[in-house]
Amino acid sequence: MRAAPTILHLDMDAFFAAAEQAAKPSLRGKPVVVGGLGPRGVVATASYEARRFGVHSAMPMGQARRLAPNAAYLVPRFAFYRSISEQVMELLGRLSPLVEPLSLDEAFVDLEAGGVADGSASARAAGERLRADILATTGLTGSVGLAGSKMIAKIASEEAKPNGLVLIEPGTERELLGPRSVRILPGVGPATGEHLRRAGMTTVSDLAGAGEDELVRLLGRAHGTSLYRMAQGYDDRPVVAERDAKSVSVEDTFDVDLHDRVRIKVEVERLAERCVGRLRASGHSGRTIVLKVRRYDFSTLTRSETLRGPTDDPGVVREAVGRLLEAVDTTGGVRLLGVGVSGLADYTQEDLFAQAGAGVGPGASLGSGEGSDAGDVAEGAGGPSRAPVADTEDVQGVEGGGGATGPVERHWAPGRDVRHAVHGAGWVQGSGLGRVTVRFEEPGSAAPGRVRTFAVDDPDLEEGEPLPLVG
């Protein structure tokens, strides 16, 4: 714990949805929901206008549509969000060398390490400058919490939402926490919260009053001791600078369970190609190939194979996941597939083709518990927060046997960037029955842009690149 509020927590406001509103003038001030649009999709982010209808992150998309039928429903554009996130993280890096990103839109900053704050007044000034710089650079708003610990700084940023700043003076932590729900503490999720409720503890002051021994008896030594300290307002976790990525992965959730083994194998190979593309883009290679399969009954199997050296070769990764798939029972159907590479390095092994041919055996299962879809809520060391959303795409086609032939109709997902040879840059409002509707507008437009409808295979219409929000 610090004597001055020099730990800053930044949380961008409704980040994905706000970025879409900034990029699309016709959506400003209107409810916007970003997430997987298939029947099994979940909400990644809802704008504040959509939240008034009860829509929130991790909600099934079908439920969101019932609550807010007139909202704009868009697929995520992760490359676009990353580009904005990089601008924000650069601004944080100007404040301090100690920046700990939690996701694309959230981070802790140690202001003391950057020499920009040594007390409440200087910390507040740094926080206000940051908010102003983010707005000027990206056109978006963020909320800032300042405190003497990470836990309290995060609570402060929640209280500051939207577009505000809250500073909590060190020494007032117990008074602040006492009447709050136990769920406000890091590591207390629904299951732990219910366990504590059955024991008669619903507020943080209840935990403090129960004593350390009782919490250890209920929750075990590590969790009980940690929770007791946090209930007293103690949190001495340091801000840890950004670490290198530990893994690269992609996954897809299917609208209809896949049963055909040939189709499943084709999808796994396609995911392997995408994963290697992302691996190479990050400048890494990896030794451990991971296959994730979520079955019809929501059971999730993870299988891995470790190579003798790191690779970024798509052929090697395809062969490895193919071997892993052979060991998985897909009877009953598959609803999600994922491919990942871990054990990252910044070099590759020359003889990995020979290695693949040697058939390095699959490793044991890494687990069979339920994994997280895009937009799920995670409980981590930083407290309950939105997990970084995986770069996934909903598969819109219906399941069929493998080896299908013939032309595939282009699919235009709502929210995607497009460019027309005559009308210029725009975005997809919707598609169906062989037609696609596009609104042509740019972030700097003062008014909503015009709408045009085309055949889905119009040769003048092609995928586009996101336009910058500012400048």
The verdict on 207 and 252 lying in the same domain is no
Q: How many CB atoms lie within 10 A of CB 395?
A: 18
Residues 6+ apart with CB under 8 A from 87: 137, 138
Measuring CA to CA, how many Å separate 143 from each of 33, 102, 134, 369? 20, 15, 10, 34
Single residue among 371, 386, 406 that ends a domain in this structure: 371
CATH number at residue 366: 3.30.1490.100
- Residue 27 DSSP symbol: G
Strands 300-311 and 7-12, by their bridges, are: unpaired
pLDDT at 423: 95
Average of pLDDT values for 364-393? Answer: 32
pLDDT reading at 295 higher than 70: yes
Tell me how many domains the chain contains.
Answer: 3
- Give the tens place of pLDDT for each residue, 168-195: 999 999 999 999 999 999 888 888 899 9
361 falls in which pLDDT band (50, 70, 90)?
very low
Q: Is residue 31 part of a domain?
A: no
The two structure tokens encoding residue 351: 């003889």
Q: Is residue 354 part of a domain?
A: yes
DSSP-derived 3-state class of residue 104: coil
Q: Is residue 367 part of a domain?
A: yes
Residue carrying structure tokens 């919260």: 193
109 falls in which pLDDT band (50, 70, 90)?
very high
The verdict on 364 and 256 lying in the same domain is yes
Strands 106-110 and 99-103, by their bridges, are: antiparallel
Strand partners, 146: 8, 167
CATH number at residue 212: 1.10.150.20
Return d(Cα 14, Cα 104) in angstroms, integer: 12
**Backbone CA torsion sign across 305, 306, 309, 310:** positive
Average of pLDDT values for 219-235? Answer: 90
pLDDT at 387: 32
Q: How many CB atoms lie within 10 A of CB 86?
A: 10
Q: Is residue 63 part of a domain?
A: no
Domain range holding 431?
Answer: 417-463
The verdict on 292 and 333 lying in the same domain is yes
Q: Is residue 390 part of a domain?
A: no
pLDDT at 245: 66
The two structure tokens encoding residue 337: 């597939």
Residue type, 221: R
DSSP-derived 3-state class of residue 125: helix
pLDDT at 292: 95
Q: 155, 184 in Cβ contact below 8 A? A: yes
357 falls in which pLDDT band (50, 70, 90)?
very low
- Give the tens place of pLDDT for each residue, 144-169: 999 999 999 999 999 999 999 999 99
Q: Is residue 326 part of a domain?
A: yes
- pLDDT above 70: percentage of residues in the chain: 85
More confident residue, 255 or 34: 34
pLDDT reading at 77 higher than 70: yes
pLDDT at 347: 59
The verdict on 226 and 268 lying in the same domain is no
The verdict on 280 and 332 lying in the same domain is yes
Q: How many CB atoms lie within 10 A of CB 94?
A: 12
pLDDT at 270: 94
pLDDT at 400: 33
Return d(Cα 427, Cα 32) in angstroms, integer: 14
pLDDT reading at 126 higher than 90: yes
The verdict on 184 and 211 lying in the same domain is yes
- Give the tens place of pLDDT for each residue, 79-106: 899 999 999 999 999 999 999 998 899 9
348 falls in which pLDDT band (50, 70, 90)?
low
pLDDT reading at 364 higher than 80: no
The verdict on 227 and 317 lying in the same domain is no
Q: Is residue 96 part of a domain?
A: no
Question: Among 212-216, 331-335, 377-381, 462-466, which is the least confidently predicted range?
Answer: 377-381
Q: Is residue 28 part of a domain?
A: no
DSSP-derived 3-state class of residue 385: strand
- Give the tens place of pLDDT for each residue, 5-61: 999 999 999 999 999 999 999 999 999 999 988 877 889 999 999 999 999 998 999
The verdict on 291 and 351 lying in the same domain is yes
Single residue among 184, 202, 231 that ends a domain in this structure: 231
Single residue among 371, 396, 428 that ends a domain in this structure: 371
The verdict on 294 and 356 lying in the same domain is yes
374 falls in which pLDDT band (50, 70, 90)?
very low
* Largest interatomic CA distance in the chain: 72
Q: Which are the catalytic amino acids?
A: 106
The verdict on 284 and 363 lying in the same domain is yes
The verdict on 217 and 333 lying in the same domain is no
Average model confidence (pLDDT) for the chain?
84
The verdict on 226 and 265 lying in the same domain is no
